[in-house]
Structure 1
Amino acid sequence: MIEITDIQKIGVGLAGFGMTFLFLGVLLLFDKGLLAIGNILFISGLACVIGLQRTFFFFFQRHKLRASVAFFGGIVVVLLGWPVVGMVAELYGFILLFRGFLPSAINFLRMVPVLGSLLNLPVISSIVNRIAGDNGRNMDE
């Protein structure tokens, strides 16, 4: 069994609050303050979960440099007062940074009772299948 330290538990909470603040910031017409707090909480939560050194190496690998520049540049643009443009840049960087994790996260969300039903709706399932890398192939074929 994997031991989870108290710092990692706090990190999960910080990242969760960060995602909540980001969601509320987008929901409330791109509120600059909520988006800034959400970004800070998410990054600090990630640093607590995987450690400062691994976080630094994750963001600043040579092949992820464009994604990191887009992500952190989006945060700076949000702080400068252009929240819509900044969130588009952040989303682009986030997708490039975490695209290796997206298929497993989507497959996990498909097993959640209510969310799984929503992800299987016709229009949504085609988008989700493309993101997850599923080409319409079933396991039983």
Structure 2
Amino acid sequence: MATITEFQRLGIVLMGFGLFFLLFGVLLYFDSVLLAFGNILFLAGLMFLTGFRRMAQFFFQRQKFRGTFFFVGGVSLILCRWPIIGMLVESYGFVLLFRSFFPFVLDLLLSAVNIPFLNTVYSSGSTH
């Protein structure tokens, strides 16, 4: 089992607080201050978790430039107090950046939680 360093633990905590503030900001009708704070904490936590070099290599890959542009543009719009448009742009960038991880996460969730209906839908969709 891999050991987790103190920086990685700090990254996990910062990402958790970032997700909390993002969720709380959305629940409070897109409060731009909470959304901006959540974005900053989430990105700082990601940097502590993966390291600055690996994070920069991920975000600045040639094929992920469009996703990075939309993600950073959405964060910038939120910081400029346009939270709804910023969250839409940021969400589009997030999907573009992390779309290769979605099948893995779905497989992990379906194996962790045995939901018969979802398992049959997902397995019948992948065999065709």
TM bin (shorter chain): 0.7 to 0.9
Could you tell me which runs of 5 or more consecutive residues in structure 2 were left unpaired when the two chains were aligned.
Answer: none
Question: Is 1:136 matched up with 2:111?
Answer: no
The alignment-based identity, stated in percent, is 44
Higher RCO (CA < 8 A, seq sep 6+): 2
Alpha-carbon spacing, 1:80–1:103, altered in 2? closer, same or farther (3 Å): same
Q: Which secondary structure does the structure 1 equivalent of 2:44 belong to? A: helix
Task: Return closer, same or farther for 1:137/1:58 CA change in 2, 3 Å cut-off.
Answer: closer
Q: Which amino acid aligns with 1:120?
A: L
RMSD: 2.3
**Which has the higher mean CA deviation after the structures are superposed, 18-27 or 86-95?**
18-27
Counterpart for residue 60 of structure 2 = 60
Structure 1 residue 135 displacement after superposition: 5.7
Give the corresponding residue for 1:120: 118
Aligned to 2:5: 5
Q: What is the alpha-carbon distance in structure 2 between the residues aligned to residue 96 and residue 68 of structure 1?
A: 8
Cα distance in structure 1, aligned partners of 2:66 and 2:91? 13
3-state secondary structure, aligned to 1:35: helix
Unaligned runs of 5+ in 1: none
Structure with more helix by fraction: 2
> Which whole-Å CA distance do the structure 2 matches of 1:43 and 1:76 have between them?
13
Partner of 1:69: 69
Question: How much has 1:21 moved relative to structure 2?
Answer: 1.0
1:19 is aligned to: 19
Say whether residues 1:35 and 2:24 are aligned partners. Answer: no
The residue aligned with 1:83 is: 83
The residue type equivalent to 2:90 in the other structure is: E
Code of the aligned partner of 1:93: G
1:63–1:110 CA distance, 2 compared to 1 (3 A) = same
Question: With structure 1 as the length reference, what TM-score do the two structures score?
Answer: 0.80
